[in-house]
A and B are shown apart, each in its own frame.
Chain A
Amino acid sequence: MVQASFICLLSLFIFLLEYKRVKKLQSKKDKWTLSIGFMIALYFIVSMILDLPVPSMNKLVGKVFQPVGEPFSNMLESFQDQ
């Protein structure tokens, strides 16, 4: 918990620094993207520290492509056993 809050604080600091730079661009879209981006980033990093479930990229890719990948895998395995 301490770690999480420490990282939040640090992130806030980094965010403020970065925000100052983005402000100079005078683009609303950039500001919003940065803010939302930081929010998402914080969500992920905090859930990592607190051991909350985070979607795994591998599983996602696996779910979509595993059926197609299975034959490849089986074929390769057959060579490996030789």
Chain B
Amino acid sequence: MSELVKISGRQFTILVIMNVLGTAIITVPAIVSAYGKQNGWFSVLLATIFGIGMVVVYNAIYKKNPDKNIYQQLELLFGKWIGKLLSFLFMLFAFHITIGNLRVMGDFITTQILIETPVEMVMFLALITCFFGVRYGIEVIARAAEIFFPYIILSIFLLLILVTPEAEITNIQPILQTDVAGAFAGALPLLGYPFLEMVLFLAFMQNVNNKRIEKQFLVGVTIGGLLLVVITLVCLLVLGVDMTTRNIYPTYILGKKISIADFLERIEILVAIIWFFTIFFKITIGYYVLIIGFKQLLQLKDYKTTTIPFVYVLLVFAVFMRPSVVEQKQFLTSAWIPFSLTFGLVLPVLMLVAGLFKNKKGGQQQSP
């Protein structure tokens, strides 16, 4: 079923951009400015460069078997059983990303917008929406992303333009003179946060109907990363280091700063709306990757079989994921880094090495 479905290269790029922005757009400025201070934007830039490097690795894996997704490749490279085990671990990673994003969304909405609504309800509604997306399949998800994309980009630019009158260059001075080491360190949590998560795209890259898919992937990550850099920069310029760091959701506060002619103000919820769209696609992609993983793992006939049970499981795990916002930040700066590195960096590199080894072996077998 899913093998027949094809999405276009442009849609793929849009999905990549959405995934880079996803959760990051609203929280990243606070994280990086905590370490890099006024050079926080530099951390994002570093992380983006790293992310682009990672995409090259992912592209290399894709190129080995352009018609197989990561689960099939794992089974091909490491044999059926080890492959299945690795697939399962990879799905655990996808699972964690999905519930993590769901939780971030729930936390944001219950702290900023719907204060008294139980977080379970907020996440449930989001999950139901994602469920529809997954049920309709990647093609429909990609098309919906294409519809929302212009709106998202427009909103981001509108936000950036509308707050520029409040920007003060002094807020990011001195540029790259002090706290540079901090800026390098600040890139660390960012690696795993939006960029290593890109490994999830390996699960359905074979569905992309474009020969220049590798370029599309690179373009997506670059645009997404640069947008993040710009947003961080504007956050720092307008809010200053202190405010950016102290607020959990600085980009949202940025929206509060908009005030044009005493009329265009109080529209920060528009920021939230941009963000709903991006994070929706992020959760949906994670969910989808998880589901097709199960299809491959259990050799099911239809990937849709496991969608409904997963609504429950995702909801429950997201609810119990962490008791508070504080732990989220704690987790992000400690265990998350090696965890994401394992699946986003070590596993792909391992796959590449295994591929080389196998090729050699295969070549030797064929030659005589």
Q: Are A and B bound to each other? A: yes
How many A-B residue pairs lie within 8 Å, measured between CB atoms?
133
Contacts of B308 in A (CB 8 A): 14-15, 18, 34, 37-38, 41
B337 proximal to A (CB < 8 A): yes
Please give the distance in Å from A19's CB to the nearest CB on chain B: 10
B339 proximal to A (CB < 8 A): yes
CA distance A66 to B336 in the complex (A): 8
| Contact partner, A45, options B188, B299, B316, B338, Cβ 8 Å | B316
B114 proximal to A (CB < 8 A): no
| Contact partner, A65, options B36, B182, B313, B339, Cβ 8 Å | B339
CA distance A79 to B305 in the complex (A): 48
Q: Binary interface profile of B, 23-63, with partner A (CB < 8 Å = 1, else 0)?
A: 00000000000111100000000000000000000000000
Contacts of A21 in B (CB 8 A): 304
| Contact partner, A79, options B181, B300, B319, Cβ 8 Å | B181
**In contact, B339 and A61 (Cβ under 8 angstroms):** yes
Q: Binary interface profile of B, 97-114, with partner A (CB < 8 Å = 1, else 0)?
A: 001000000000000000
**In contact, B313 and A40 (Cβ under 8 angstroms):** yes
Say whether, besides A41-B309, A58-B327, A66-B335, A48 and B300 are in contact (CB < 8 Å).
Answer: no
| Contact partner, B309, options A37, A57, A64, A77, Cβ 8 Å | A37
Size range of the chain A interface in the assembly: 35 or more
**In contact, B336 and A44 (Cβ under 8 angstroms):** no
| Contact partner, B298, options A11, A33, A47, Cβ 8 Å | A33
A80 proximal to B (CB < 8 A): yes
**In contact, B313 and A44 (Cβ under 8 angstroms):** yes
**In contact, A29 and B333 (Cβ under 8 angstroms):** no
Contacts of A11 in B (CB 8 A): 312
Please give the distance in Å from A30's CB to the nearest CB on chain B: 5
Say whether, besides A57-B317, A80-B34, A34 and B334 are in contact (CB < 8 Å).
Answer: no
Say whether, besides A40-B313, A48-B316, A73 and B334 are in contact (CB < 8 Å).
Answer: yes
Among B95, B310, B316, chain A packs the most CB atoms within 10 A around the CB of B316
Please give the distance in Å from A59's CB to the nearest CB on chain B: 9
**In contact, A25 and B302 (Cβ under 8 angstroms):** yes
Please give the distance in Å from B312's CB to the nearest CB on chain A: 3
**In contact, A65 and B302 (Cβ under 8 angstroms):** no
Size range of the chain B interface in the assembly: 35 or more
**In contact, A29 and B298 (Cβ under 8 angstroms):** yes
Contacts of B357 in A (CB 8 A): none
B301 proximal to A (CB < 8 A): yes
Q: Binary interface profile of A, 13-43, with partner B (CB < 8 Å = 1, else 0)?
A: 0110010011001110110011001101110
CA distance A75 to B188 in the complex (A): 10
CA distance A27 to B299 in the complex (A): 10
CA distance A2 to B36 in the complex (A): 51
B65 proximal to A (CB < 8 A): no
Please give the distance in Å from A5's CB to the nearest CB on chain B: 16
A72 proximal to B (CB < 8 A): yes
**In contact, A79 and B186 (Cβ under 8 angstroms):** yes
Contacts of A40 in B (CB 8 A): 309, 313
**In contact, A69 and B312 (Cβ under 8 angstroms):** no
**In contact, B322 and A56 (Cβ under 8 angstroms):** yes
Say whether, besides A22-B302, A25-B302, A57-B96, A41 and B182 are in contact (CB < 8 Å).
Answer: no
CA distance A44 to B310 in the complex (A): 11
Q: Who on chain A is nearest to B184 by CB?
A: A79
| Contact partner, A76, options B189, B298, B306, B319, Cβ 8 Å | B189
The 10 lowest CB-CB distance pairs between A and B, nearest first, are: A37-B309, A41-B312, A73-B334, A69-B334, A68-B338, A27-B301, A79-B182, A41-B309, A69-B335, A44-B316
Chain A interface residues (CB < 8 Å from chain B) = 11, 14-15, 18, 21-22, 25-27, 29-30, 33-34, 37-38, 40-42, 44-45, 47-48, 54-58, 61-62, 64-66, 68-70, 72-73, 75-77, 79-80, 82
